[in-house]
Amino acid sequence: MNDDDLTRLNEILRPVARPQVLDGVYSDDQHARMLDVVKRNGPWKTITANHFDTVEELMATSNGGVPDNFDLTLDDMATGHFRGRFAEDSVCYYTELEDCFFNTHFLDLTRSYWGAQYARPQRMLFNLCGPHHSGLNAHLDAVTFRGIRIENSPVWLQNVMGRSGLFTEHLVKMAQVITRWYLGENGTFTYWPDGPAGQPVRLEHPLWNKGVVVQNEMMFHRGDPVGRPDERDIPGLRHRSVIGYDTEHDDWAITTDVEVIRRYRPEEMRLLVHWSAEVFQDLDEVKKNMDHSDDLTQDVVFERLLADMHARGIEVDDPSDPLHDRDFIRALVATYSIKPTTDWATPNAA
């Protein structure tokens, strides 16, 4: 990627407006009901096990590619961070959380964040963890395009499309309200509101019922490592490990197969709730989404990506099964790899 590409992508990969920090996001009662659903409906898979079947797919979503001479497995990359879903595709799976999901206040926030007329709740996820090791790589959330969405396409493809900047006119506007409850150390949130070459900002403690309105699919961000470094080890953690609430002990247990490999006291846990809405500038945009007159197809997407790679002089064979072709996915990652060049600890350039 040359300097012109970087400059162009630094303009594209930034949110429509600066993130808005919120305090007291949910009521105590809503928090208690969400936590209760998490306790009663586990165990929950790791975030990566929710979304990725191969290392290539995982790396296409973060950054940097996969070293050719080093045979990493998903077990090598497993982290003790778990995910579940309260709602997907505008359907709330738990009636007791419908007031949290169909949230008029959040819809107001997201409409005004975009300066748009309409919005609808789209998804609601939670991330759950205690102290654990995690990297410092920033990422973008799955980007939604008309026709290419989480419901029909893998996350890595959505992200490659987002980072390529080739499909911006098909972008579905989105905004999220992301809220944390955490009493332990570290576990802050770092984000790049001025693009990957701009200075990052950190959402600081206290992180109890504290939220931020963001456009996370177009703004690099990361959850900073949770807990003290000396309490982050989880020996025996695997891609297939799960976490669940243990009523008998009143604690949270990570298990690999049936063996408990780590327990956390309730006060060690961090809960993050990720609410996401689709936003429509006006009625025309609502209709365009509803009637699918402006939808991309995967065939068109792969054609455009291949043509762009060929135009850049990149040698890549036409894949027969592009969704699962490891060489093709590696080529896409290498071509459209961009990540922040700054960090909050990095001094401003003179």
141 part of the interface to Fe ion, by CB under 5 A: yes
**Residues 264 to 293: which contact Fe ion by CB under 5 A?**
none
> What angle in degrees, to the nearest 10, is found between the helix axes of 155-164 and 326-335?
30
Nearer to Fe ion, 141 or 285 (CB): 141
Integer Cα distance of 300 and 314 in angstroms: 19
Tokens encoding 100: 């949290």
Q: Nearest to Fe ion by Cβ — which residue? A: 141
Of the listed pieces 39-47, 136-144, 224-232, 233-241, which binds Fe ion according to CB under 5 A? 136-144
Task: Return phi, psi of residue 299, to 5°.
Answer: -60, -45
The distance of closest approach from Cβ of residue 260 to Fe ion in the complex, given in angstroms and rounded to an integer, is: 29
The distance of closest approach from Cβ of residue 306 to Fe ion in the complex, given in angstroms and rounded to an integer, is: 28
Residue 320 CB contacts under 8 Å (≥ 6 apart), including other chains: none
**Contact mark string toward Fe ion, 93..132, x via CB under 5 A:** ----------------------------------------
Nearer to Fe ion, 56 or 141 (CB): 141
What is the 3-state secondary structure of 93-132?
Answer: CCHHHHHHHCCHHHHHHHHHHHCCCEEEEEEEEEEEECCE
The distance of closest approach from Cβ of residue 190 to Fe ion in the complex, given in angstroms and rounded to an integer, is: 11
Task: Return phi, psi of residue 106, to 5°.
Answer: -65, -40
Find the length of the chain: 350
The distance of closest approach from Cβ of residue 89 to Fe ion in the complex, given in angstroms and rounded to an integer, is: 19
Whose CA is closest to 205, among 16, 2, 21, 350? 21
Residue with tokens 């040698």: 315
Of the listed pieces 141-149, 249-257, 286-294, 299-307, which binds Fe ion according to CB under 5 A? 141-149
Q: How many residues bind Fe ion (CB under 5 A)?
A: 1
Nearer to Fe ion, 54 or 137 (CB): 137
Nearer to Fe ion, 141 or 268 (CB): 141
**Residues 162 to 181: which contact Fe ion by CB under 5 A?**
none
56 part of the interface to Fe ion, by CB under 5 A: no
Nearer to Fe ion, 57 or 141 (CB): 141
217 part of the interface to Fe ion, by CB under 5 A: no
Residue 306 CB contacts under 8 Å (≥ 6 apart), including other chains: 316, 318
**Residues of this chain that bind Fe ion (CB under 5 A):** 141
